[in-house]
Structure formats: C-alpha cells, structure tokens
Structure 1
Amino acid sequence: MMDLRALIDDPSVPVVLRSTDTSPFGRKVRMALLVLGLADRVTLEPADTLDTADSLRVQNPLGKMPCLLIAGEAFFDSHVILEMLDGLAEGGLLRAQGLARFRALTRARLADGITDAALLVTYEHRFRDPAMASDRWLAHQRSKISRALAVFEADAPDPTRADLVTITLAACLGYLDWRQPLDWRADCPGLTIWLDRFAQTNACWAATERTLK
C-alpha cells in the first residue's frame, strides 16, 4: 500500500475535493490547499448534500462536505483533511509543538464551533416553516457565536499568517458575513479589522471568495 506522500506525488492518482464554493468548511480546505501549494493537485467536484442520488452519501455516509477522495478513498471532515495536509507539508499549517499545539487545535475547533452554530441558525430558517421556528433554539445558537467571538475579539491570532487557526477563523467570519445569523461586526470591531488585515496579506482569501460576497 502506497503511503500518503507517494499517492500525492503520483500524478496518475486522482485527488478530488467534494465541496462547493459556498461551504465554509470547504473554503477552509481550499485556502489550506493554496497556502501549501497543493491546489493544482486537487480537482474540485461540487456536491449537493440534499440530493439523495449524489455520490457524496456513499463517499461520506453522513452526507457532509468537504470530503477528500484520494485514489477513491474518502477522508472527512475538514479538521481531518487539514491535519492530513499539514502532515504532507510537515507542519505548514500547525508549527507548534507540545501544549502550544493543543492550544492551537482548541482555538481552531472554537472557530469551527462558531461556524457550526451559524449553520444551525441557517438551517432553522431553511428547513422549518417560519411559524415553527424556535426562538429559544436560535437564541441558544447565537449565544454560542457571541461567546466564542468574544474570545477571539480579546485575543486574536496573527492576521498576517495563514495557519490552521487563522484560516479556520477567516472562513468562519466569511460565513457570518454571508449568512448573517447576527451582526457580528457591530460587537467585534477588533475582529472586523483583523479580517480586513487577513484578506490584505493572504492571497488565499480573495482566491476562495468568489460567491461569498
């Protein structure tokens, strides 16, 4: 069995990312691919999570994206994929070791959690009749977003670097701007400046932004 490095280095081995331009988790992976110089090696294949005939449901039984296919073998979710890419780049996304590494992983998961909560707010409006929407549930999810954003507002990562934490946070904030589960910019002026600085100094942002405006 070939190892991961050999598979990636073999141009005859197909590497496919099942995702969409608008998926925040897919965007995180696409930014990482650009940062690590692997984007040209991966083919983006759109997926429709609501289409019962979409092969995504076979590739990932949860029917969720992104899903990375290497020689037909599926790897998911976005956190696992970024760990895989980081291993290929020998620490290009997460250079920290020991306790610092786990702190960075925790902060990345916190940003992912904001995105998760924002998705649940979006789905509440998308899949329920307006009369059936739960205000209590929406407030519960928005409170998660607000508390987590406050953590980053108080201690934001370096916006000039494109690493595991900053890529995850930027994808999260981009999704909040698009879906607007709450007015995060009004409460987080520091993060507003942070995202502008990240966008100015990291080309991966504009390169993946196409439909998120």
Structure 2
Amino acid sequence: MMILRYSAASPYARKIRIAAELLGLAGRIEIVAASTTDPNDTLRRQNPLGKIPALVLEDGSALYDSRVIADYLDHLGGGKLIPAAPGRFDVLRLQALGDGVNDAALLIRYETATRRPELRDQDAIDLQQGKIDRALAVLEASPPAGPVDIGQIAVACALGYLDLRFEGAWRGKHPRLAAWLQDFATKVPAFEATKA
C-alpha cells in the first residue's frame, strides 16, 4: 500500500487526495499525517525537502511535489485527469495557476501568522497578494470548463485554501468563480470530504 504524508490544511495534499479518489486509487493509499517542523518525523527521510505532500511507494521510494504525485497517480489511474494532446497543456497551465495561488497565499500566511508584527514585510505581502488578485481576475473572466481535470482540482483547492485561511474574502469580487466552485463541490464530493 502507498502512503501519503500530508497535513489536513495543505491545499497541495488536498489536491492529491481528491485526485486519488477520482482515479479510484484512494483505497490503495494510506493517509498519514506529517509534521514539517519536527526533525524526528520520518518525512525528512522520505522527502529531503521536508515538505508535503510526499507519496511513499510500495518499494519504499517516495515521490514529492504535488504535480509529480498527481502525474504518477494519473498514470496509475488511466490518464483521466491529465489528458494527452490536445488540451494537455491547457490543463497543466490551469494546475500551475491554482498551485501559484497556493504558493502566494502560503507566503502571506507565513508572513502574517508566524512573524512577529514588527518584523512583517508589507511589501512582500502586497507582492504575493497581487499574484493572487491577478490569477483570480483571470479565473473570474473565464472560469474553468469541461470535464474535471487536475487543473480544476488545483484551482478548487486554492479557493478552498483562501476560504480556510482568509475567510473567503475573494468571493465578493468573484461571483462567477464562487458559483463555479459551488458547482465543482457538487460534482466532486471528495472536495467537501477533504475540507480541513
């Protein structure tokens, strides 16, 4: 059995959990919490970067970075979430956009939640917020469409993370995107089931 090292709040781990469910692989993966800050957690041996998610394969080797794990699971599951051409790079670009929103949101979260107030860098926060705002504007203008794929999963997980950590402040300016997320959640029960 494979082992997914994760944290319930991680949008990247959530992406993998949803993908595994949609690919019919969830029963082949044991979900095991990891501490990225504990030097004694085996995570650092499984992924030298000490990051989640990490997927420990049955032979004991590990894959890390959610994009690599998603590609591997999609390969095992018959290629349902990452299509071949045409459309492959549209899906991968959408995944990169969703993951990029998560990257920026996590940097803001670290800056505001872990640094003492007097050490916070507002310019750094504003830089990351600009990335999120531009990505959301693109998604609002043209919400994802078509069959559920890894790009849509990544975007949904990014929006879910913004809801979790930033009280859904994005929703007021992005009604089409909020409606898309509601539709996604209806079509993909694993989205709600993996909510932190």
Name the structure 2 match of 1:7: none
Contact 2:11 2:158 in 1 (8 A): yes
Q: What SS does the aligned partner of 1:44 have? A: strand
Q: In the alignment, which residue of structure 2 is the partner of 1:175?
A: 161
Q: What number of residue pairs does the alignment pair up?
A: 195
Compared CA separation, residues 208 and 181, structure 1 to 2 (3 A):
closer
Aligned residues: percent identity?
43
Gaps of at least 5 residues in structure 1 are 1-13
> Aligned partners of 1:44 and 1:182: how far apart in 2?
27
Divergent runs of 4+, >6 A:
none
Corresponding residue for 1:62? Answer: 49
Q: Which residue of 1 aligns with 2:94?
A: 107
Alpha-carbon distance in 2 for matches of 1:124, 1:85: 33
The aligned amino acid for 1:114 is V
**Bigger Rg, which one:** 1
Q: CA deviation at 1:127?
A: 2.4
Unpaired stretches in structure 2, ≥5 consecutive residues: none
Change (3 A) 1:107 1:92: same
Q: CA deviation at 1:90?
A: 2.3
Letter of the structure 2 residue corresponding to residue 47 of structure 1: A
Cα pair 1:142 1:181 within 8 Å, conserved: no
C-alpha separation between the residues in 1 aligned to 2:138 and 2:84? Answer: 20
Flag the 1:182–1:129 CA change in 2: closer, same or farther, 3 A.
farther
Q: 1:73 aligns with which of 61, 73, 95?
A: 61
The residue aligned with 2:181 is 195
State the 1:120 CA deviation.
0.2
TM-score normalised to the size of structure 2? 0.95
Cα shift readout 1:19-77 (whole Å, capped 9, x = no counterpart): 02211000000000110111011000100101111111111111100000002111011
SS of aligned partner of 1:179: helix
Matches within 5 A, 1:1-213: 14-71=1-58, 72-98=60-86, 100-158=87-145, 161-180=147-166, 183-209=169-195, 211=196
Whole-angstrom CA distance in 1 between matches of 2:166 and 2:26: 29
How far is 1:101 from its partner?
A: 1.0
C-alpha distance in structure 1 between counterparts of 2:47 and 2:18, whole Å: 22
Once residues 206 and 177 of structure 1 are traced to their aligned partners in structure 2, the CA distance between those partners, rounded to angstroms, is: 13
C-alpha RMSD over aligned residues: 1.4
